[in-house]
Amino acid sequence: MHTTVPDDTLPLLARPYGLLSAQARRLDTDVYDTRLLFRKTTCMTGADAARVFYDPDRFVRDGAAPRRLRLTLFGEGGVQGLDGRRHAARKRMFMSLMTPEARDGLRDLVARTWRERIGEWRDERQVVLFDEVGEVLCRAVCAWTGVPLAARQVPQITRMLDALIEAPAAVGPRYLRGRAARKLADRWAAAHVTRARERVERGTALGEIASYRDTDGNLLPPDVAGVELLNVLRPTVAVARFVVFAAMALHGNPEWRHRLAMDDDPELLEAFVQEVRRFYPFFPLVAARAVRDFDWRGHRFPKGRRVLLDLHGTNHDPRLWERPEQFRPERFIGREPDAYNLIPQGGGDHYEGHRCAGEWITKDVMKVAVTALTRWMSYSVPAQDLSIHPWRAPAIPRSRFVITQVAER
């Protein structure tokens, strides 16, 4: 099955969150071929497609990500582009940072930093939540990883990390800012790795990354270790988008705001956070490359073919989710999603596959934020433009969610 247009690059840039699933529905299939930048590409959507996509006997990540992702979001040499033994070993290092005790430490830092900022927000005429939460998360995750960061540096480093997140699907100034930020971030992170090695630091994420030895027993080059350090810092700052979406959901669903404020049932909070992650747009898709020739559902995958998995479309697949266009946290009460139907941060196994190592941290941070927004502070939401550009990926409301009259409860 193949699309009828000669190239889907411009349509995908214009509609990153809906094009793949719309094309699949139009063609009545979960897998089809198209061209992106005039290169043959296969697109897949749905839970069954995700199961195939995360099969390491069929797909690898090496050489799959477009160059613009490596030059902005991922960097060069990081875990996202590894496969086999090298990936498994590097992933174990990341997962060793995700112990319950370590996650509790980051959660406590986020909570403490958020409470401190409430006092500052009280004196502000208005607060742009996205910008402020980004700084909260940047300050907390740098403290957690062992990266020294003075208060005056927080806005600059937050902007630098956010520029990496903004750039991959952008054109023009946003992309150029991302390229410049990547060079700056790589030098900054590599310098921290070098200093950590001189001090022989252990017991922090920075120390673990700096002292990690690859499958050949060698320390990572400082620039590659710096990329992996950024692979802890950057995704944590990216959670600011999910926090803003949670604030939008509370604003648009006052019954759930009241329910979460009055009832501290962990199941309710879990359900709300999961539905925010399912419903709102985060990263639209991920890429892999076929490692060998094979067929699936009558569709031919030649060796070397780039393949895209539709994350957002799978999270809104009506075969998996009843009334997926509606925000309904109750769908997660008594229901545990599997590894392939709820995939805002990738699918498969956290330990063995390419699913985001920080997914649990994402949920932890979101739960702190929802608790803060419903229990620790009161605020007003003035009239503003909360619409989301259909072409902007990763998505964020145009106003970035403005609040006023902040008070501590």
Instruction: Supply the CATH number for residue 28's domain.
Output: 1.10.630.10
109 within some domain: yes
CB 347 within 8 A of CB 339: yes
273 within some domain: yes
Angstrom distance (rounded) from CA 122 to CA 25: 49
304 within some domain: yes
401 within some domain: yes
Burial status of residue 10 (CB atoms within 10 A of its CB: 0-12, 13-18, 19 or more)? exposed
336 within some domain: yes
Task: Choose among 248, 239, 234, 230: nearest CA to 368.
Answer: 239
Q: E strands along 76-183, which residues?
A: 127-128
Q: Say what the pLDDT of residue 314 is.
A: 98
200: left (phi over 0), alpha (psi -120 to 50) or beta: left
Name the pairing type of β-strands 31-36 and 306-310. Answer: unpaired
CB 179 within 8 A of CB 71: yes
Name the pairing type of β-strands 285-290 and 127-128. Answer: unpaired
> Cis omega before residue 318 (within 30°)?
no
Q: Three-state DSSP class for 180? A: helix
For residue 117, give its domain range.
9-408
Q: Say what the pLDDT of residue 202 is.
A: 73
| CA pseudo-torsion sign 218, 82, 350, 223 | positive
In Å, what is the CA distance from 61 to each residue of 187, 233, 262, 304, 360?
25, 22, 45, 11, 22
* pLDDT in single tens digits along all 409 residues of the chain: 677 678 899 999 899 999 999 999 999 999 999 999 889 999 999 999 999 999 999 999 998 888 888 889 999 999 999 999 999 999 999 999 999 999 999 999 999 999 999 999 999 999 999 999 999 999 999 999 999 999 999 999 999 999 999 998 888 899 999 999 999 999 999 999 999 999 866 789 999 999 999 999 999 999 999 999 999 999 999 999 999 999 999 999 999 999 999 999 999 999 999 999 999 999 999 999 999 999 999 999 999 999 999 999 999 999 999 999 999 999 999 999 999 999 999 999 998 889 999 999 999 999 999 999 999 999 999 999 999 998 899 999 999 999 999 999 8
| CB crowding 39-63: b at 16 or more within 10 Å, else e | eebbbbbbbbbbebbbebebbbbee
1 within some domain: no
Total domains, the chain: 1
In Å, what is the CA distance from 242 to each residue of 27, 247, 319?
32, 9, 25
For residue 196, the Cα-to-chain-centroid distance in whole angstroms is: 27
Enter the tokens of residue 109.
């830092």
Task: Choose among 141, 94, 160: nearest CA to 364.
Answer: 141
Angstrom distance (rounded) from CA 147 to CA 79: 20
126 within some domain: yes
4 within some domain: no
